[in-house]
Amino acid sequence: MSENHRTSTAHEPVSPVTIRDVARAAGVHLSTVSRALDPRRRAAVSAEVLEAVEQAARRLGYRPNRAASALRTGRTYTIGVLVPDITNPVFPPILQGIEACAASRGWFVMLANVSGSAMAQPIVERMLAQQVDGIVLATASREDPLVDFIVGAGLHAVMVNRADESGRLPSVVSDDRLAMKLAVDHVVQTGCQRIAHLAGPQSLPTGMGRLQGFEQALRDRKLESAGVVVCEAYSREAGRVAMARLLAQSAVPPEAVVCSNDLVALGAYDALHAAGLSVPGDVAVTGHNDMPLVDMVHPSLTTIRLPHRELGWRAAQLLFDALDERQMSAATVVLRPELVVRNSTRPLPAHAD
């Protein structure tokens, strides 16, 4: 019987294929197979030998013993990812970036959808029990006790799309202040002077940062705010409620509303249409995130585009740097947003640049 094939009787179970079997089938040394199947060391193996090992492993049906590897190396080659709402179109591309970076190293991603702040710590505790090597957080709020727990547990963690105001954890974020400046400058250039803001939840770093950016952009233009209403969530319904409140505050509607989120902007559309106001004829509207399909709503949404996939990739890269002890401090990486002009804002005057 060939040593490359395993059979069994009803009383003899099939034994698992080992790297020793793969080495014998590929005609190479055991240590060569170990290097070829290790994502961190495979670069030291020639392409020809690597192909022979991979073909032998596939032919034999070899599966790595992660438990044994964890006992030997102290690592499971698994990272956890916490997102606040997987149905929010912002988070899938961030997750894609994280997974792509992890896959390039041969690591596995364990995803958790955290529906509320009370659920976060138990989920992290469960991930710790599963021996994840690190965590990427897209969930943390301002002054979040989860950060205290993670730091106290000595767990490697990186925040993405939100920054740790205490500076204890590395983070990868977009420049919220610049984003608001781009939106405000644009609507001013179209002739708007009375500009309002539908702010995100102030418990979240993004909500606070975008509000501060909006206020700074108005100061730079020497303009007074036409009103600020804080949304209870980054959702369409919260945007609708906030826009209705903003309209009720004054007999004269604002000329433009800069929204903290695309879903909030869609809610603003709902409230404006219910009030008999047109977009952008009566009120111009801008969003934030450039989530899928906002170019297909009517009118198509002028918004701020963020490099979501790059946010995820860079966050995972920071985490791997920390795990490899190449990161010396809690760095914050800030990526640049860009304005995408569509039909929810008025055309620029003919004389504008």
Q: Check residue 130 and report its DSSP letter.
A: T
Indicate the domain borders of the chain.
19-64, 76-174+308-336, 176-306
Question: What is the CATH number that goes with domain 19-64?
Answer: 1.10.260
Select from 3.90.226.10, 3.40.50.2300, 3.30.1490.190, 3.40.50.720 the CATH code of 76-174+308-336.
3.40.50.2300
pTM: predicted TM-score of the whole model, two decimal places? 0.78
Mean pLDDT by runs of 10 across the 353 residues of the chain is 44 68 86 76 80 85 63 74 91 96 91 82 91 91 86 92 84 96 98 97 93 98 97 97 97 97 98 98 97 95 97 96 75 94 91 53
**pLDDT score, position 327:** 61
The dihedral through the CA atoms of 144, 149, 154, 158 has a sign that is negative
Q: Write out the two tokens for 150.
A: 């993670």
**pLDDT score, position 62:** 78
**pLDDT score, position 18:** 82
**pLDDT score, position 4:** 43
- Return phi, psi of residue 201, to 5°: -55, 130
- Compute CA distances 248 → 88, 234, 241, 251, 277, whole Å: 29, 21, 11, 7, 13
**pLDDT score, position 68:** 52
Select from 3.20.20.70, 3.40.50.2300, 1.10.10.10, 3.40.50.2000 the CATH code of 176-306.
3.40.50.2300
CB 225 within 8 A of CB 194: no
- Which residue blocks in the chain are alpha helix, DSSP H? 19-26, 30-36, 47-60, 66-73, 91-104, 117-129, 145-153, 176-189, 205-221, 236-248, 262-274, 308-323
**pLDDT score, position 25:** 87
In this chain, the answer to whether the domains covering 19-64 and 176-306 adopt an identical fold is no
**pLDDT score, position 14:** 55
